[in-house]
Amino acid sequence: MPEDVEMNDSQPQPAAAPPPAASTLQHLKEIASVIEAGSLTKEVRRISRAVRLTVALRCRLAARDVAAFLAFALPHSSEAFARLSSLLPKEDGSEMDVDSAAPAAQVSIKHGLPEIEIYCYLLVLIFLIDNKKYDEAKACAFASITRLKNLNRRTVDVLASRVYTYYSYVHELTSSLAEIRGTLLALHRMATLHRDELGQETLLNLLLRNYLHYNLYDQAEKLRSKAPRFEAHSNQQFCRYLFYLGKIRTIQLEYTDAKESLLQAARKAPTTARGFRVQCNKWAIIVRLLLGEIPERTVFMQKGMKAALAPYFELTNAVRVGDLELFRAVAEKFASTFSADRTRNLIVRLRHNVIRTGLRNISISYSRISLADIAKKLRLDSENPVADAESIVAKAIRDGAIDATIDHANGWMVSKETGDVYSTNEPQIAFNSRIAFCLNMHNEAVKALRFPPNSHKEKESAEKRRERLQQEEELAKHMAEEDDDDF
């Protein structure tokens, strides 16, 4: 006889409730412990990781969280605690964030570490900027810069570079960049004496941005040419340097070097830095047009950039056709956009390229054409269009843009028969430039390779190999996160 079975055990058990999420204050305490570990072991990589974690946490910061963290990280009798607490906005009727929501292990740190103090300055500065309290942010930035002048520790360099960036950013938001130029120069001198290469990179870019903001291109070039150069430590700072270098070269009419710098900056920038890549592409398009090149359509159809590059697509089409009237219409239609991008003066230079492109098309289409008809087709609106057309044709012939002669007696332009381009050295030159580009990219990839020390001397066991692969995966993840940050 079958036994009776109780049905209670067959009922599905309710799923265990997920553990409560850690509070913002608990995350900040864990970041402080990471900074402490990096300070004690002198590992700059840990400090960089703490900065990345802070960037991911900044959208959740509240005044009570920052105030509670200051009370946790700084001694109450310290000058930094009193100064930073006074800068935070007071929230009436609000309670401090309680850690009981997240039953994590209690975190304790060692007071008096300069890295923790500078991190507190950085955290308050970020919070004030995000909340648009610019006067308090400027006071906090000035206090942090004053404190940094008395420190010379390699573990502080990563935090100091971020403080420098936000120090310049808050003054840019308040239209007072000129006021801090002397301070930035003094900080760059100090970073050079302290051999702080990351600080030198950051401050050089901030100074270049400061000069270019006021169109001081000559001063920017003098500083750039005399500043010490070394291997880049930050991909973000190197991308910014290439972008500023490309802008300087463009203004100085060195279009070939400018094109190389701008395209390299756009390629090296992380995919998440869309705004930066859009600016690089805008300037690169103008430079290529000034060089007489026509950018491919795929440049304008990149993901997320189509709307931003639409004015430059219409401008490129006008230059490609060689229609001076269409070029004027596009320049007037998007005048505000070009002024905001600070490319309007460069677009004025394109007028000559439009005329030359139209003249080249006329030279290919007609074996003989009168100068009056050339002036009419180019839509020259001067007082003596025939004389202007004659001078334009003569200059184009002298520069090698067209292969033709001028019959002054009859007022004609006679085009010579078009030769076979493959009988010249042009295909060889183009092929050689592509090979040089590929070889250069290969050399940069080889230089970027990293190998563990003494890997050729000792044979590793299976356990060491697993540990090494795990460390390499973590390092690759950190490098990817670092590329996505700071843009």
Provide the 10 A C-beta neighbour count for residue 166. Answer: 19
399 lies in some domain = yes
Identify residue 72 by its one-letter amino acid code: F
- The pLDDT tens digits of the residues spanning 399-413 come to 666 777 777 777 777
- The pLDDT tens digits of the residues spanning 28-85 come to 888 778 877 877 887 778 877 877 887 877 778 788 888 888 888 778 888 878 888 8
- The Cα 409–Cα 401 span in angstroms is 23
Question: b/e per residue, 228-265, with b = 16+ CB within 10 A?
Answer: eeeebbbbbbbbbbbbbbbbbbbbeeebeebbbbbbbb
Question: The tokens of 102 are what?
Answer: 């997240």
- The pLDDT tens digits of the residues spanning 448-463 come to 776 666 655 556 567 7
Please give the tally of structural domains in the chain: 2
448 lies in some domain = no
Identify residue 464 by its one-letter amino acid code: K
Give the dihedral of Cα atoms 329, 335, 336, 341; nearest 10 deg: 130
Cβ-proximal residues to 163 (8 Å cutoff; 6+ apart), any chain? 118, 121, 122, 125, 141, 144, 145, 148
pLDDT exceeds 70 at position 315 = yes
Question: Measured on CA atoms in the order 416, 417, 421, 425, is the torsion positive or negative?
Answer: negative
Q: What pLDDT does residue 436 have? A: 92
Q: What pLDDT does residue 101 have? A: 42
Write down which residue in 356, 388, 415 finishes a domain.
Answer: 415
Pick the more confident residue, 284 or 388.
Answer: 284
359 lies in some domain = no
Q: If we measure between CA atoms, which residue out of 126, 25, 5 comes closest to residue 71? A: 25
Write down which residue in 176, 211, 231 finishes a domain.
Answer: 176
133 lies in some domain = yes
Write down which residue in 374, 394, 415 finishes a domain.
Answer: 415
- The Cα 432–Cα 153 span in angstroms is 48
Domain that holds residue 401: 366-415
pLDDT exceeds 50 at position 222 = yes
384 lies in some domain = yes
Q: Quick one: average pLDDT of 109-125?
A: 78
378 lies in some domain = yes
381 lies in some domain = yes
53 lies in some domain = yes
Identify the CATH number of the domain in which residue 406 sits: 1.10.10.10
